[in-house]
Amino acid sequence: MKTIKIISLSLLSVIGFTSCSSDDDNNDDDIPVVTTYSTSFGELNNSAVSGTATISIEDNKMTVEINASGLVADQAHPQHIHGKDANNEDATCPPASADTDGDGIITIPEGAPFYGGVLLPLDEFPTADATGNINYTKTFTLGEGDMPTLEALLPLENRAIVLHGLMQDDTYVATIPVACAQIVKD
Ligand SMILES: [Cu+2]
């Protein structure tokens, strides 16, 4: 009995090995090219929001993962890839001096000279949990439907991700930027 078991185990491993190597042969000319990016968020408007984002691109599939904390709990937080699409100039995160009207809040338009307009809304916008965390992952199929093409988003290292949504005078204002991250190619 023991011998039979050993033989069947080795047969299984031979079969397993054979099927693996034939897969490899088939894929030799077709190795998927995955480009990855990552970044960390800095707070805007004294939000105390922090977190990280990663982006991976394979063909026209772009997967975005965002993990952040310190957001207003139980509220939906708009999030976008921002950029200056006119000349692909580098998008940056606005400094405190971006608050040009001096009201203490950097609004979307006050930040726009730094991070540009919205190139892609990262919907569906996540709702922060009861402790203010968001954990978001979505794969976008670029160039299909109303999705921008990959070419329109590149170079991603010249883009920034902005998270929005802050309490102002006891009211939740979903538009106020609360965190910003310049995208970095790995
Ligand atoms: Cu935005």
- The DSSP code sequence of 97-159 is GG-TT-SS---HHHHHHHH-EEEEE-PSPPBP-TTS-EEEEEEEETTSTTPPPHHHH--GGG-
Ligand 1 centroid to 23 CA: how many Å?
43
Ligand 1 centroid to 151 CA: how many Å?
20
pTM of the model: 0.83
Q: Token pair of 48, please?
A: 């105390």
Residue with tokens 């106020």: 176
- pLDDT tens digits, one per residue of 32-71: 899 999 999 999 999 999 999 999 999 999 999 999 999 9
Ligand 1 centroid to 146 CA: how many Å?
18
Ligand 1 centroid to 101 CA: how many Å?
20
Which residue, 146, 52, 147, 46, is CA-closest to 106? 46
- pLDDT tens digits, one per residue of 5-20: 444 444 444 444 444 4
Ligand 1 centroid to 159 CA: how many Å?
12
Q: Token pair of 11, please?
A: 């047969």
pLDDT of residue 29: 63
The CATH H-level superfamily of 34-185 is: Superoxide dismutase, copper/zinc binding domain (2.60.40.200)
Ligand 1 centroid to 60 CA: how many Å?
22
Alpha-carbon Rg of the chain, whole angstroms?
23
- pLDDT tens digits, one per residue of 127-176: 999 999 999 999 999 999 999 999 999 999 999 999 999 999 999 999 99
Ligand 1 centroid to 117 CA: how many Å?
8
Ligand 1 centroid to 35 CA: how many Å?
23
Please give the backbone phi and psi of residue 107, each rounded to the nearest 5 degrees, phi first: -85, 175
Q: How far apart are CA 44 and CA 68, in angstroms?
A: 13
Say which residues have a Cβ less than 8 Å from residue 43's Cβ, sequence separation at least 6.
Answer: 49, 50, 70, 178, 179
pLDDT of residue 20: 44
Ligand 1 centroid to 43 CA: how many Å?
14
